[in-house]
A and B are shown apart, each in its own frame.
Chain A
Amino acid sequence: DQQVKQNSPSLSVQEGRISILNCDYTNSMFDYFLWYKKYPAEGPTFLISISSIKDKNEDGRFTVFLNKSAKHLSLHIVPSQPGDSAVYFCAASVSGFGNEKLTFGTGTRLTIIP
């Protein structure tokens, strides 16, 4: 049972345009969401997160949107740059002391075309 789903295995975007990566979840107990970026031969690196008390969080070129009613979140990257080419994982958790476990999606490979 995949509780966190990334239905697009891959996405190609022109440099300078907006990249939109999507993630859906089924567990209504999830209240904290994260995006990780992974380059080949490296571990995932934390990119941005959002708590369920917010519907938007922004950090530079990266913005995460959360739609709790739809159980959907998205990561917007604008403008997209060649260095953004990587695999992006969405993750979710039930916050609270002792609950620090993440459930990951299957990842979306983003390719930025120069």
Chain B
Amino acid sequence: DADVTQTPRNRITKTGKRIMLECSQTKGHDRMYWYRQDPGLGLRLIYYSFDVKDINKGEISDGYSVSRQAQAKFSLSLESAIPNQTALYFCATSDPRQATGDTQYFGPGTRLTVL
């Protein structure tokens, strides 16, 4: 079984709709992250959480919100989706207690299309 799972894997929605993307992990990591990938732009950080009580904005947080429901779960919401939020979304985890604490482990991604 995958250590980091994301649901749904694909989603098509309409402008103005509220969307939630979910991420679960079984790695026991405290750190969780949400990224989006756009063609030619690489991966950009949306939000990150270092533990259940800690939420931080990344470089492109406008239009997004997150919820850290438990150590293992980190959800990303688009309150009112717009077409330029069409992208691949990835969740990732890391564990600073490891020797390679900066290494992040990614889920399979969610392809979101906003019409």
Contacts and interface: CB of A to CB of B under 8 A. Distances in A.
Tell me whether chain B's interface is mostly helix, strand or loop, or mixed: strand
Contacts of B42: 4, 6, 89, 104-107
Nearest to B10: A41
A92 to B, nearest CB: 9
Contacts of A106: 40-42
Tell me whether chain A's interface is mostly helix, strand or loop, or mixed: loop
Sort chain A's interface into a size bin: 20 to 34
B108 A102 contact: no
Contacts of B96: 97, 100
Contacts of A60: none
Interface string B29-54: 00101010000111111001010000
Contacts of B104: 46, 100, 102
Nearest to B43: A104
B50 A98 contact: yes
Of A6, A9, A43, the most chain B CB neighbours within 10 A belong to: A43
Contacts of B4: 43
A34 interface: yes
A36 B101 CA distance: 15
A100 B43 contact: no
B64 interface: no
A7 to B, nearest CB: 12
B102 A46 contact: no
Interface in A89-113: 89, 93, 95, 97-102, 104-107
A83 B6 CA distance: 25
Given A34-B103, A100-B31, A89 B109 contact: no
A78 B7 CA distance: 37
B102 A104 contact: no
Nearest to B106: A43
Interface of A: 4, 6, 9, 32, 34, 36, 41-46, 49, 89, 93, 95, 97-102, 104-107
